[in-house]
Amino acid sequence: MTGYTSDEMMTVAAARTLKDGMTCFVGIGLPSAAANLARATHAPNLVLIYESGTIAAKPGRLPLSIGDGILADTADAVISVPEIFNYWLQPGRIDVGFLGAAQIDKYGNINTTVIGGDYGSPEVRLPGAGGAPEIAASCQEVIVVVRQSRRTFVEKVDFVTSVGYGDGPGARERLGLRGRGPQKIITDLGVLTPDPETCEFTVTAIYPGVSEETVRQRSGWGVRIAAAPETADPPSAAELQALRDFQATR
Residue whose CB is less far from another protein, 89 or 232 = 89
Between 80 and 119, how does the x/- string for binding to another protein read (CB under 8 A)? xxx--xx--xx----------------------x-----x
Provide the minimum distance between the beta carbon of 71 and another protein in the complex, in angstroms, as a whole number. 8
- Is 154 a binding residue for another protein by CB under 8 A? The answer is no
Tell me the window of 16-24, 121-129, 197-205, 206-214 that interacts with another protein (CB under 8 A): 121-129
Residues 6 or more apart whose CB falls under 8 angstroms from that of 200 comprise 106, 107, 168, 194, 224
The rounded distance, in Å, linking the Cα atoms of 66 and 245 is 20
Instruction: Give the residue from 64, 65, 38 showing the smallest Cα distance to 51.
Output: 65
Between 189 and 218, how does the x/- string for binding to another protein read (CB under 8 A)? ------------------------------
Between 37 and 56, how does the x/- string for binding to another protein read (CB under 8 A)? --------------xxxx--
The rounded distance, in Å, linking the Cα atoms of 94 and 24 is 6
Provide the minimum distance between the beta carbon of 96 and another protein in the complex, in angstroms, as a whole number. 18
Instruction: Give the residue from 224, 221, 225 showing the smallest Cα distance to 154.
Output: 221
Tell me the window of 10-18, 156-164, 196-204, 210-218 that interacts with another protein (CB under 8 A): 156-164
Count of CB atoms within 10 A of residue 202's CB?
A: 16
Question: Which strand (E) or helix (H) includes residue 15?
Answer: helix 6-16
Annotated active-site residue 51? The verdict is yes
Length of the chain: 250
Do 181 and 97 touch, CB atoms closer than 8 A? Answer: no
Instruction: Give the residue from 67, 70, 74 showing the smallest Cα distance to 50.
Output: 67
Active-site hit among 51, 134, 200, 239: 51
Which residues bind to another protein, rule: CB under 8 A?
28-29, 51-54, 63-69, 71-73, 78, 80-82, 85-86, 89-90, 113, 119, 121-134, 137-138, 159-163, 166, 171, 175-178
Q: Active-site residues: which are they?
A: 51
